Amino acid sequence: MKLILIRHCETDGNKKEILQGQLDVDLNLNGIKQARKLAERLKKEKIDAFYSSDLKRARKTAEEIAKYHKSRLYITELIRERKFGFFEGMKISDYQKIVNQWNIPHHKFRPPFGESYEDVLKRVKKFYSYIVRKHKNDTVAVVSHGALNRVMLSHILGISLKEARELPQENSCINVIEINGSKARLISLNDCKHIKP
């Protein structure tokens, strides 16, 4: 299987460095432009199936790419962004200060009414197991979110959640992984050449 793992395009929350989590926000004007460039870049790629988070910012990114393809787009809550609960809508810098005060590793911290990276991993394992079974010899595009992508990369590539937390995942980035049984090979990480020279 070839997995094309994509982060959704830009929102106003991204621009303002707000912790969005599972808030259902839309793409901003720049995000719509990014989605069009992303779709243009991937239009000649043979994609057998699309999967997207059900949150608007991911779904609209996926719909833009899927316009050039006849493959079905599946929408699922399993690949929603990490739920930050009580802290959703807060500045990311303020959230990080709070986590640091708790003296708990970031990937283990569970916000009130939210999820830790370890909680997200349970969803990722369920989703990944399903697509590997269903699409063994296919090319699959998955449109999701920053934290979710990091957890998925952690699971597929066998790196720790602590290390995965540091992986760059910019808006509209593409990660490509070739999967053959239990072996996975990273082809590209955080590739944004469609929006950056």
Positions annotated as catalytic residues are 8, 145
Which residues lie closer than 8 Å to 62 by C-beta, 6 or more apart?
Answer: 6, 50, 51, 52, 73, 141, 143
Q: Is the alpha carbon torsion for 127, 187, 34, 107 positive or negative?
A: positive
- Residue 82 backbone class (left: φ over 0; alpha: ψ -120 to 50; beta: rest): beta
